[in-house]
Amino acid sequence: MEEKEIIPVPDEQQEYVINMGPQHPSTHGVLRLLVSLKGEMVKNIQPHVGYIHSGIEKMCESMTYTQIIHLTDRMDYISAHINNEAVCLNVEKALEVDIPDRVKVIRTIMSELTRLQSHQLWWACFGMDLGGLTCFFYGLRDREKILDIFEETCGGRMIVSYNCPGGLMYDIHPNFQKRVKDFIKYFRKILPEYDQLLTGNVIFHERTKGIGKLTKEDAISFGVTGPTGRASGFSCDIRKHEPYSAYDRVQFKEILFTEGDTFHRYVARIEEMWESMNIIEQLIDNIPEGQFAVKMKPVIKLPEGEYYQRVETARGELGVFVISDGNKNPFRVKFRSPNFSNLSVLNHIAKGFKIADLVAIGGSLDLIIPDIDR
């Protein structure tokens, strides 16, 4: 047998490539990261998406506009209501129908409740990623209260299907206002507990402060939106810049930080929870009387053309682009989903940090994988 010479690879060129995912608890879904390591240091990350590609965009082409709603529910399933709202607003814009004030206000309240429960779940998971299992239980306990509100009014807990082109599927439940007010009162007391438990924790500080810095320029060039972008100082809140529904009649702050590290992405979401509660409080007592939906034709046909609508989901900017050829089905639907752009920045900000920091950074981006693989 011929003897083979083994040439040792120089130390600085050695790389160890591992798969993180597709089944990894801290990727929060079926995301596979190909991580190149040098010792414990992350040298390169290659995200592989498509493990749960559901073809939602393609399926939309064979659905009517009312049926699309049940698909967008399943895209970013934590902020289902806001996704639905985007499609409905787009259809309403194309048909130039006037939406009653009541619908606008209810949609806004529901959107903010969705944002609240999304951030609660994120807080719970983020705490768990960093080793604080208690957070997971407390976060889910409070989220349960919002899900109950959803269940009573919409009939579904996460997959609400409450919007429809022209308004809402049903009117709000008679208990709705009281329940929401009770919840706000309750959660205003509980949210400081989140701070005591996690925000002030010294271990948490050590693991998040200065980790995974994202500059404003990079946030803009990668298209990172939502709380992640705003923590880097990129003012990208669609609710402020292009108010839809009832956001033009409420006062709220856009949460902006300049540091852009993991800790400030965290604080940005906590602060957004306070703002969401402010918005709900301004609206909950003045839901105007009126219809909960305008009567639409049984088969909705958009006039020929291209339509685009942006909304602010809990994770960033969601854009819905529809090309219509005048039929009852859209010709092409494209979703600009926030998570896809937010994932693209992961390699850039996690390079040079330890693999444990990768979990913290990934958690702070708040990725929902079906939204990437739509």
Partner 1 sequence: MRSIINYLKEIILGVWSLLKGMKVTGSYFFRPGTIITQKYPSNRKDLVMFDRFKGEVVMPHNEKNEHKCTGCGICELNCPNGTIEIISKTIITEDGKKKRAIDKHIYRLGMCTFCALCVKTCPSNALAFSQKFEHAVFNRALLIKTLNKPGSQLMKGVE
Using the minimum distance from each CB to partner 1, give the nearer residue, 62 or 251. 62
CB of 171 to partner 1, least distance (A): 11
Q: Which of 155, 213, 328, 351 binds partner 1 (CB under 8 A)?
A: 155
Does 203 engage in binding with partner 1 (CB under 8 A)?
yes
Does 71 engage in binding with partner 1 (CB under 8 A)?
yes
Question: Which positions from 332 to 371 touch partner 1 by CB under 8 A, shown as an x/- string?
Answer: ----------------------------------------
Residues 217, 196 contacting (CB under 8 angstroms): no
Does 63 engage in binding with partner 1 (CB under 8 A)?
yes
Does 138 engage in binding with partner 1 (CB under 8 A)?
yes
Q: Which of 8, 98, 200, 289 binds partner 1 (CB under 8 A)?
A: 200
Overall size of the chain counted in residues:
374
Phi, psi of 58 (to 5 degrees): -70, -40
What does the alpha-carbon distance between residue 90 and residue 225 come to, in Å, rounded to a whole number?
Answer: 20
Using the minimum distance from each CB to partner 1, give the nearer residue, 140 or 355. 140
Residues 52, 43 contacting (CB under 8 angstroms): no
Q: Which of 36, 97, 156, 332 binds partner 1 (CB under 8 A)?
A: 156
Residues 167-186 that bind partner 1 (CB under 8 A): 169-170, 173
DSSP 48-86: E--TT---HHHHHTTS-HHHHHHHHTTTSGGGHHHHHHH
Task: Evaluate the omega torsion of the peptide bond into residue 47 and state whether it is cis, within 30 degrees of 0.
Answer: no
Token duo for residue 27: 């990727």
3 state SS of 23:
coil
Quick one: which segment of 109-117, 189-197, 243-251, 338-346 binds partner 1 (CB under 8 A)? Answer: 189-197
| CA torsion through residues 294, 300, 301, 307, sign | positive
Using the minimum distance from each CB to partner 1, give the nearer residue, 138 or 340. 138
* Total residues in contact with partner 1, by rule CB under 8 A: 35
Does 137 engage in binding with partner 1 (CB under 8 A)?
yes
Quick one: which segment of 2-10, 21-29, 107-115, 140-148 binds partner 1 (CB under 8 A)? Answer: 140-148
Q: How many CA atoms lie within 13 A of 360 on its CB side?
A: 27
DSSP 145-201: HHHHHHHHHHS-SSS---EETTEESSPPPTTHHHHHHHHHHHHHHHHHHHIIIIIT-
Using the minimum distance from each CB to partner 1, give the nearer residue, 15 or 193. 193
Quick one: which segment of 43-51, 114-122, 200-208, 327-335 binds partner 1 (CB under 8 A)? Answer: 200-208
Burial 204-216 (b: 16+ CB within 10 A, else e): beebbeebbebeb
CB of 256 to partner 1, least distance (A): 26
Does 308 engage in binding with partner 1 (CB under 8 A)?
no
Residues at the site binding partner 1, with contacts judged by CB under 8 A: 63, 66-67, 69-71, 73-74, 134, 137-138, 140-141, 144, 148, 151-156, 159, 161, 169-170, 173, 193, 196-198, 200-203, 298
